[in-house]
Structures are given as structure tokens and as C-alpha cells.
Structure 1
Amino acid sequence: MKILLINGSPHRRGCVYTALEEIAKTLEGENIDTEILQIGREPVTGCIACNYCQSHGRCVQDKDSVNRVIEKLDTWDGLIFGSPVYYGGPNGQITSFMDRLFYAAGNRMAGKIGAAVVSCRRGGATAAFDRMNKYFLMNRMIVPGSQYWNQIHGLTREDALKDKEGLQTMRTLARQTAWILKCLDAGKKASVPQPLQEPWIPTHFIQNT
């Protein structure tokens, strides 16, 4: 079992990394493999609504890590996204990354773990956290809970390391994630089938002619 953690912060070893690192260490202690991908310094462009991905299974834009994650998606049992809070929301890199990743490969996310963690100096964490969770909930992912919202506070890594409750929240999230993965593995061994997925019925209010 393996989890991919995606760091959307421009600071490679800043507050977001500190939160993801705490999760990764705890998961490793539960015999779950982890990988941290840093995308925060990449020039991640937004979705251009060309629908290329709907027929090709990958994004038409190929200068960042989106397609590389899509190519390896089946090797991960879950994805955890981390973002700093910019003006009460997740930053541009992680939002653009998630827009394109989920539009191109959201149909392959069902049954995987999906979680978000956010870092702020002071406020805006819950709004950013809520925004990111919508990707998981719209794509039939399993969202583990924790003892509080998945947020950590601080301006620097040194600050974040002093946020004992924030770090504990990350460890609790990791343990819940590991427990769910083990339950899912047991379900597979017992041949519990996946839920039936009906064909999508879009509501466009277009008259059939």
C-alpha cells in the first residue's frame, strides 16, 4: 500500500512540508509506503477546457507533473494534497494541478483515499480546506477524518514544529488513513465488490430534438 503526498507550497521544506512529513512518518510506521512530490515551484498552468483529456486520458499540457501523476495513478492507494493558504484559499499551483488532474483522471479516483492539509500563519485555513475536499467528494474517494481540521499554523518550519496540536492532527489523519487502507485490503481479500456506479446523467436542461 502506498500514499502519494503532494506539496503545493513554493517552500520545499516549509510549513506544508512539515505537516506532510509528519503524516508520512506516521504512515511509514504503519507499514504504508509514501512518496512526497514537490510541485510548488513548477509553473503549473490552469485547465484550458479543451477536453483533450476526455479522449486521451491525459492533459494536453505536458510541462509539469500532472501527466506524470496520471501515468502512475494506479500505483497509489491514496493521495494527500498540501497547500499554503493564500487569501483564504489554496494557492494557485495546487488548485491548477488538482483542476487538471481530477478532470483528466477523476474517474480513476473512486475508492482511493483523498485528503487535504493546509498551512496558514493565522486565518483562512478552513475555507482552503473545504475547497480542496470538494475534489475528493465529487469523485467517490474516501476522505479520512482526524481530530480537528487538517491545518497547521506558522510562518516558518520552526513555527510549525511548535504547533503540537497541528502535528498531532496530522498523525491522527495518518493513522485513520492507514486503518482505512487496511480495511479496504481486507475487503478485497474477502471479495467485497465495489459499489455499482450508474452512467452519468448530466443536467444541462437541453431539449432533445
Structure 2
Amino acid sequence: MYALAINGSPREGGNTETLLRAALAPIKEAGWDTELMQVGGKDVRGCIACYKCFENKDHRCAVKNDALNDYLAKMLEADAIILGTPTYFTDVSAEMKALLDRSGLVSLANGRALRGKIGAAVVAVRRGGATHAYDSINHMFLMSQMIVPGSTYWNMGYGWAKEDVAGDEEGMANMGNLGRVIAWLGQSIKPNLDSFPAT
């Protein structure tokens, strides 16, 4: 099985990445293939609402002059997707918003191609606004008929400078629990995905 984490922060090695790596660790220990990709700071632009994905139905965005389709291909391959973002004015980063809008629309256009996959949101925050960013990611997961696991608290960690979040004991413990829940859930649902209800 394969778990993909995508870092929506342009600050590599920062708090969002620290949280994502903590969530991936128990999944890898459970024997899954894991990968961390960086979308923050990369060339991924917003949806232009051309709706060509509904005409083409090729599991790709029709806009091919940026990196979105590289991320989308990995998302479609994954059994579990963990999307991480910093909190920017109580919401996700611009690159994460573009990823959500475009991957979500391509999924809808292709019979909810993300349905049945596990989706988890992870948010790094200095002080406030993390719950809204967390919801923004989960809204796409839920509309795509993905399975959103719970953990011991909302999946967020607190910090300002790079790796400050490692000092948030509750947040880091939650990431470990989230990873263990994802590994357990994946093993539980994988044999039954072929019978997932049609749209």
C-alpha cells in the first residue's frame, strides 16, 4: 500500500513538513510505501473553470503548462493522501488551494476518482485559524467520497520558527496516532474497495 503526503508550505523543512513526516513514520513502519512531495512554492496555479476535464475524462487537468498533473497522478495512485498546509490568514496556502480545487474537480469529472481513498488534513499554525484550514482540506476529501480518519485531536501542531512544532508534544503525539490509524484503516478497507458504492 502507498501513502502520499503533500507539503503545501513553501518553507521546506519547516513545521508543516515536520508534522507530515511524523504522520508518515508509523505508516512506513507498518510496511507501506510512503512519499513526501513538496507543492508549496512550486508552479501550481488555480483552476480556470474551463471544465475540459468533464469532456476529456482522462484523469488529468486540461491545463498542462504547470505541475498539477504530476501531483494528481500520484494522488490517484495512492491509497492514503495526507495534505499538509501552514495557516495563511486562517486558510490553506495558495498552492494547496490550487491543488484542492483542481484535483477535486478532476476527481468529480472522472466518476469521483478519489473515492474510497483515505484522506487526512494536517495543519501547522502559529496561534489561530488552523481549524478553518483543516476544514478546507477535509471539504474536498468528503465531497470526493474519501474516508477521513480521526485521531486524538484535530490534526494540527503549533509553532513559529522552523521545527518549533516538534516541541508541541500533544500535536506530535496526535500525528503518530493519525499515522497508526491510517495504517490500520488501510489494511481494513483495502480488500473491500472493489465494492465501494458507485456514485
- Regarding TM over 0.5, the answer is yes
Which has the higher relative contact order, 1 or 2, with Cα contacts under 8 A spaced 6 or more apart?
2
What are structure 2's unaligned runs of at least 5 residues?
none
Distance in 2, Cα, partners of 1:196 & 1:187 = 13
Task: Give the Å deviation of 1:196.
Answer: 3.8
What are structure 1's unaligned runs of at least 5 residues?
198-209
Task: Give the Å deviation of 1:45.
Answer: 1.1
What code does the residue aligned with 1:66 have?
Answer: L
Distance in 2, Cα, partners of 1:139 & 1:166 = 27
> 1:201 corresponds to which residue?
none
Distance in 1, Cα, partners of 2:125 & 2:65 = 29
Distance in 2, Cα, partners of 1:72 & 1:181 = 17
Distance in 2, Cα, partners of 1:53 & 1:123 = 36
Aligned length: 194
Q: Is residue 111 of structure 1 aligned with residue 113 of structure 2?
A: no
> 2:78 corresponds to which residue?
76
> Structure 1 vs Structure 2: percent identity of aligned residues?
39
Q: Which runs of 4+ in 1 moved over 6 A?
A: none
Say which SS state the counterpart of residue 37 (structure 2) adopts.
strand
Distance in 2, Cα, partners of 1:46 & 1:74 = 19
Of 171, 175, 178, the residue aligned with 1:173 is 178
Distance in 1, Cα, partners of 2:74 & 2:124 = 27
Distance in 2, Cα, partners of 1:103 & 1:185 = 24
Q: What are the equivalent positions in structure 2 for 1:39-78 lying under 5 Å apart? A: 39-56=39-56, 57=58, 58-78=60-80
Distance in 2, Cα, partners of 1:158 & 1:8 = 15
Distance in 2, Cα, partners of 1:72 & 1:5 = 10
Task: Give the Å deviation of 1:25.
Answer: 1.1
Q: Could you tell me the TM-score, scaled by structure 2's length? A: 0.92
What code does the residue aligned with 1:179 have?
Answer: W
Q: Could you tell me the TM-score, scaled by structure 1's length? A: 0.87
Of 88, 91, 98, the residue aligned with 1:89 is 91
Alpha-carbon RMSD across the aligned residues, in angstroms, is 1.5
Which of structures 1 and 2 has the bigger CA Rg?
1
Say which SS state the counterpart of residue 81 (structure 1) adopts.
strand
Task: Give the Å deviation of 1:186.
Answer: 4.1
Deviations 1:128-167 (A, max 9, x none): 1111110011111000101000001101233111011111
